[in-house]
Chain A
Amino acid sequence: MTPAAETRVLPALRVPTGLDAWIRAMKSYGIVAAFVVLCAALGFASDAFFTWGNWTNIIRQTAINGILAIGVTFVILTKGIDLSVGSIMALAGAVGASLATSANPHALWLSVASACAVGAGLGAVNGLTVARWSLPPFVVTLGMLSAARGITFIFCDGRPIPNLSESFLAMGSGDVLGLPMPIVLLALTFLAGWFTLRYTVFGRHVYAVGGSEKSARTSGVRVARVVTLAYVISGLLAALAGLVLTARTTAALPQAGVAYELDAIAAVVIGGTSLAGGVGTLTGTLFGALIIGTINNGLDLMGVSSYYQQIVKGAIIVGAVLLDASRRK
C-alpha cells in the first residue's frame, strides 16, 4: 500500500548519533553544508557580506526565484518539468498590473485574484494536456512558454504598464513587522508548500506518482488529478512571483521573466530534487535558490564579471546533478 518512493523521502530531523548517522545526515543535508561553506568563503572575500542589510538584500532578491522554484518542485517531483513559468509570471503580472494603474484603479484583492486565476488557469491547461493526453511535459510547457509570452505582448500592446497604485507596489517594497514583503511571501509560500508535501495525502501522492506512476495507479492514486494539480500549483506560484516582480520593477514589462524558468529549475536541481521524479524536498529547493542568490550577490560585491558568474552557476548545476546521480547508484 505504501509506495516504495516514500522511503526515499528526506528522513525526519533527528540528532545524529554515531559516525554513520552523521554521514547519512550530511548526505541528506549536504546542500545546507555547501551553502554554509559558500557563505564563509564569500564573507572572507568581502567585509560587507555578513551585514544585516546585505542578508536582507540576498533573501529579498532570492524571493522571486524561490517562489517560482517551490512551484516547479511540485512538477519535477511528478517526473515532469515546467518551462512556462517565466512567461506565466509576465502575463499574470501584466494582468494584475492592468487592474491597479492610476488610470484604472481597483481593489488590490481583485488584481491579485485575477493574476492568480491566470496563473492557475494556464497551469491547469499544462497539467490537463500532460495528464489526459500523456504528452511530454517538456514539449507541452515549451509550447505554453511561447504562447503565454505572445499573449503577454498582445495584452500589453508591446508596451510597459507603469503608474501602479501604492497598495500594489507594497507587494514589492512594503514590509510586515520589519521584514520586506517579498521575504514574508517567500516564507509563507515555503511553509504552505512544505506542509502540503509532508503532511497531506496529496503530498504523498505527488511523491508516489513521481516514484512510479504504475505503482501509484495500481495503489489507487488518481494520477491524472495529482499531476494536473501539480501544474496548477506551479502556475499559481508563478503568478505570485510575477506580482512581486511587477511590484519590484514598478511597471509590468512584457519581456519580464524571460529565462527565469532556468534559474528556477537550477534551484530545484541544486537542491537535490531528482529530475527523474519522486525524490526531493522543498528545503533543498529553498537552499538551492539561496545558493544562486548568494552567488549573484557575492560575486557582484566582489566585482566579478557577470560572464564568470554564469560559468560558476553552470558548474554548480552540473556538480549538483553529478552528486545526485552518484548518490543513487
Chain B
Amino acid sequence: MNTLKTAAASAAAGLAIALACHAGIAQTRPYRIAVMPFGLPEYMSKWSAQMQDHPMVKSGKVKLTVLDGKFDPLVQTNQMETVITEKYDAVIFAPMDFNAATAPIAKATAAKIPVVGSVTRADSDKLFAYVGTNDVEGGRLIAEHLVKQLGGKGNVVILEGPIGNSPQLLRQKGIQQVLAANPGIKVIADKTANWSRAEGLTVMENWLSAYGGRINGVIAHNDEMALGAIEAMKAKKIDPKTIPVVAIDGIPDGQRAVKDGNLFTLYKDASAEGQGAMDLAVRAVTGAAYKPAAEVWSNGLAWRDGTARQYDVPWIALTPDNVGKYLR
C-alpha cells in the first residue's frame, strides 16, 4: 500500500506540474531559443535576466529556455543533445570549458541549429558569432593600470579563475603580455581562487602570512576574488589602499569597493553581452532584415548587419569619478 501511495503522490505531483506548464502556452509559434549559461553565479544570472528583458522576449516573439550548466561541461554536453533533439531554433552558449565546447557546437551546427557564443569562448570556428568582452584586452588593461600605479616596480600576486575556463586563459594571457614588457614587476605568487570570494580570502590570507610586507599589488581575474583579497587585508589590519588591487567585472560590491578607493575594475556589461547575443541569435534565425534592439548597438558596438563573426563588447574602466553612474 505504501508503494501505491508513493505512486499516486508522484502522479499527482507530475500532473500538477504539467497543468501549470500548459497554462500559459502562446497561440502563434514563437522562436524557441535555448540559453545555456555555464552556471548561474551573480553575473550569469544578470546576463540571463537581461535576455528576459529583451523586447523580442517580452513581446512573446521569442520563447527562452534557460538551461543551467551547473559548472559541469558534461551537463552542458547533455543539454546540447536535448536542445538538438528538441529542435530549438537557435542556441546562445556560454561554455564552462574551452575544449569541451567543441563537440556540442559541432553537433548543433550539423543539425542546422545556429550557435551564438557569449561571455566564455569555445575552441570552435563553427559559431554563428561571438559577442563578449575581449578578455585578453581586459587582462592587459588592468595589468597596465597596476603597473602604472606601482611606477613600474614591485611584487605582485595573481588570483586566477578556474583553470581552463576561457576568461581565466585569456585574461591571464593579456596580463602576462604586460608583465613581460615590464621586467620591474615580479610575480611572487600565482594561484587559482575559482572565481570565489571565500577562496580569494583564504589564499590571500596565506600569502600575507607567507610574504608579509613584500606584496605590493594584487591582480585578480574577477571582482569576487579581489573582494576576498581586500577582506583578507582588512582582517590583518592592512589598509587596502596601500596594496592596490585590480580586477574585472564591476559587480555591485566591486563598484562599492571602487567608490571606497580600494579597487580598480572594468565594468562588464551583462546587458550588452546578453541582449547583444539575443539579437544575433534572432538575426541567425530570421535573416538580414532583422533590426537589432539592444542598447549596445547604438552605444559603442557596430552591428555590421549581424554578419561579423566576433563582436567585442567594450570594457568600461571604473574609477571613483565615474562609478556613481553605474552604482545602484
Contact = CB atoms under 8 A, between A and B. Distances in A.
Contacts of B86: 48, 54, 301
Q: Is the interface of B mostly helix, strand, loop or mixed?
A: helix
A61 B163 CA distance: 26
Q: Is the interface of A mostly helix, strand, loop or mixed?
A: helix
A255 B78 CA distance: 17
Given A250-B100, A302-B21, A323 B15 contact: no
Contacts of A54: 82, 85-86
A188 interface: no
Interface in A248-306: 248-251, 253-256, 258, 296-297, 300-306
B102 A38 contact: no
Give the contact-size bracket for chain B. Answer: 35 or more
Give the contact-size bracket for chain A. Answer: 35 or more
A40 B85 contact: no
A45 B7 contact: no
Interface string A37-51: 110111011101001
A319 B17 CA distance: 18
Contacts of B100: 160, 249-251, 253
A218 B270 CA distance: 68
A66 B70 CA distance: 20
A317 interface: no
A48 B3 contact: no
B2 A326 contact: yes
Interface stretch (B60-68, B130-138, B231-239, B247-255): B60-68
A23 interface: yes
B1 A23 contact: yes
B74 A159 contact: no
Contacts of B162: 255
Interface stretch (A27-35, A77-85, A127-135, A198-206): A27-35
B269 interface: no
A297 B99 contact: no
A256 B103 contact: no
Interface in B10-30: 10-11, 13-15, 17-18, 21-22
B97 interface: yes
A253 B73 contact: yes
A160 B97 CA distance: 9
Contacts of B15: 41, 44
B237 to A, nearest CB: 33
B92 to A, nearest CB: 15
B290 to A, nearest CB: 24
A48 B11 CA distance: 19
A158 B74 contact: no
Interface string B62-98: 0001111010111001110110011000000000011
A204 B246 CA distance: 63
B110 to A, nearest CB: 12
B10 A34 contact: yes
A306 B40 contact: yes
A26 B4 contact: yes
A37 B11 contact: yes
A297 B75 CA distance: 11
Contacts of A297: 82
B152 interface: no
A127 to B, nearest CB: 28
Interface in A226-266: 245, 248-251, 253-256, 258
Contact of B3 (A42, A64, A323): A323
A246 to B, nearest CB: 10
B85 A53 contact: yes
Interface of B: 1-4, 6-7, 10-11, 13-15, 17-18, 21-22, 40, 65-68, 70, 72-74, 77-79, 81-82, 85-86, 97-100, 102-103, 123, 162-164, 192
9 contacts: A33-B7, A41-B15, A159-B163, A249-B100, A250-B102, A251-B100, A256-B74, A303-B21, A319-B6
Interface of A: 23, 26-27, 30, 33-34, 37-38, 40-42, 44-46, 48, 51, 53-54, 57, 60-61, 64, 158-160, 162, 173, 245, 248-251, 253-256, 258, 296-297, 300-306, 319, 323, 326-327
Given A41-B15, A250-B100, 17 more contacts: A26-B3, A26-B4, A30-B3, A33-B4, A33-B7, A34-B6, A37-B7, A37-B10, A38-B10, A40-B11, A41-B11, A45-B17, A158-B163, A251-B97, A253-B164, A305-B66, A323-B2
